[in-house]
Chain A
Amino acid sequence: MTALAHVSTPAGEPAAPPTPRRGRHRLLPYLLLLPGAAWLLVFFALPLLQLAAASLYDPSGSLATGYAMTWAFGNYPAALEQYWPQLARSFGYSAIALVLALLMGYPLAYGIAQKAGRWKNLLLVAVVAPMFTSFLVRTLAWKTILSDNGWVVGLLRDVHLLGPDGRLLATPFAVILGLTYNFLPFLVLPLYASLERLDPRLLEAASDLYASPLRAFQKVTLPLSMPGVIAGTLLFFIPATGDYINAELLGTPNEYMIGNVIDSAFLVRLDYPQGAALSFLLMAAILAIVFGYLRKAGTEEVL
């Protein structure tokens, strides 16, 4: 019996270990996901649920008296009716800023990726460097640059591009400029990444096949950089639409965006149901636009 047992063990052994190991391998991805998933649950999913609940509280309540859950879906149409101009302005401003950023960012990303040679890394650092200072400080700097006593306004008045009382600060121009400036790197970096991968030999091939430089750009460079354009557009557009710092510091209440309204609902007017409802309206609008955009752009690489 002992002898038999001895014989069977070594024969059975090689087959045995893989089973538990394969099991552990199957679990491993989930174990790796666990910390991030836990973080998201506690700091994103639960607050989001709380926010969703808050948007349905009885609007007649207050922080002092407490809120009652009355499933007040009417909060949504009420908020929309009161603040749709700010919501529309948010999308309008960030759309204009996006177009400006694309016009500046695409040539910039293309130049760094394809033409910069040994200056490539330095230029990339230059694109990212402003982010080493705080968003707030940079926007305040623009406030100084565009101020009525600043040299920019002085110069523009001197050459009569601005009237004697004309100003830049506290105009839609200043807010859009601030949005364009602050979110430009988010557009440039993904664009750079996709243009950097572009094989210059494809452009030689296009040129060999009767494509003028303009045609080659249109038929080869642009389509191949679309994943970067789409990723950059989303990374730019989503935070720019929800932004309130630029309108706050560079604009007036006439330029206020939906972010400013949400900010004041939560922190000034202490109207939690309205602030929550507006937050969800903004989120829903952005999601609708993003999905519509991705469906139209039709790149499976992004989704």
Chain B
Amino acid sequence: MASETPAGDLRLANLTKRFGVFTAVDDLSLTIPQGSFFALLGASGCGKTTTLRMIAGLEEPTSGQVLLGDRDIAGLRPYKRPVNTVFQSYALFPHLDIHENVAFGLRRRGIRQVTDQVERMLALVQLDGYGRRKPAQLSGGQQQRVALARALINHPQVLLLDEPLGALDLKLRRQMQIELKRIQTEVGITFVHVTHDQEEAMTMADTVAVMNAGRIEQLGAPADLYEYPATAFVANFLGQSNLLAGEASGRAGDEVPVTAHGSRFAVPAARARVDHGPVFLGVRPEKLHLAADPGAVPGAHQHLGGVVTDASYVGVSTQYLVRTAWGSELSVFVANSGVGGRFALGTPVTAHWDPRHAFLLPREPGEDDQTAPLLDEPPVGVGS
């Protein structure tokens, strides 16, 4: 039924949801192209799940539209929408076996011959032969795949995934990320994936929208978001960033000169979100290099001096904290690919970077440097 209607892009137009005085989703507009894998990324309470529930019909928008193709579905009851959800808790029916759980949507639409379809779907999620078991007899990862099969079998125009991997352990989560991506490519259905896990969003989605306080901070391909964030929030939510508070004074040729803590730096104009006034000069920790001797810094690089105050060896890299002359700490990841020794605590070092890796972000006048603390888990791009 759903698969026969002409599909189309999913568009949210000025979507707003208020709970009393709290605005969970604030005038949200975005277009999700048909067949794409779209991730809504944000911390808990940012409105991403509410957005998803409005698409599913489980929450009624205060105002705005949910358009599928040209059809506004915002007024339809959930059971009338060509949209299915994989719930965070899976919400498998405990009294039905796996076969009946997967067949539930087909049966409700009056389809009698379900066995072939159910078996094909169970094969797709690699659960052949599990049809007669009850959900309670399956592991978390298997339940997750049943929830996926139960939604996918209906060939929805849009599949909504609400933190579907949140309950799984790290290893299984990685495995399921690859699995989900494979299935999405195979079935070609639009996936809207809600997650607070930046790595999950980046590895799976074609397009990531970073949400904060009911609004979208930035939307784009994962690499674009990571390499050139638009706001300080994105720079720190998606991976880590060293953000130095400074002042910019307009473009000078292809560059924007910046004064920060008495030193002068420059950022390519193409990587500046603003070119005058209070700015953050940002560099990712893995794009900073350390040199024992200022003379060893390559000519094109920019640099500043400091002292190593912390070093954590995490296998693929060593994560350093370098205290600058004005007391801020920079986070620096050095890949353990060389044969040289590591820097000891208290060693004076020079941190340097290629200006093409730096970026300029708008800054509120009162804000000071922002450097992320060292993480227990390796950051994006280093661990996996």
Contacts and interface: CB of A to CB of B under 8 A. Distances in A.
B81 to A, nearest CB: 8
A158 interface: no
B224 to A, nearest CB: 33
B4 to A, nearest CB: 15
Nearest to B85: A208
Contacts, number: 60
Contacts of B89: 199, 201
Contact of A205 (B57, B77, B85, B109): B85
Interface residues of B, number: 23
A203 to B, nearest CB: 9
Interface string A180-213: 0000000000000000000101101111111110
A211 B79 contact: yes
A203 B378 CA distance: 40
B87 A206 contact: no
A210 B85 contact: no
Interface string A98-126: 00000000000000000000000000000
Nearest to B84: A208
Contact of A207 (B78, B92, B154): B78
A220 B94 CA distance: 9
B100 to A, nearest CB: 10
A224 B283 CA distance: 56
Contacts of A150: none
Interface residues of A, number: 17
B95 A208 contact: no
Contacts of A223: 95
A24 interface: no
B108 A205 contact: no
A204 B91 contact: yes
Contact of A209 (B57, B77, B95, B108): B108
Scoring B77, B84, B87, B104 by chain A CB atoms within 10 A of each residue's CB, the highest score goes to: B104
B56 interface: yes
Contacts of A211: 79, 104, 108
Given A205-B93, A209-B150, 18 more contacts: A201-B87, A202-B93, A204-B58, A204-B91, A205-B85, A206-B93, A206-B104, A208-B58, A208-B78, A208-B83, A208-B151, A209-B104, A209-B105, A209-B108, A219-B108, A220-B93, A220-B95, A224-B94
Interface of B: 56-58, 77-79, 83-85, 87, 89, 91-95, 104-105, 108-109, 150-151, 154
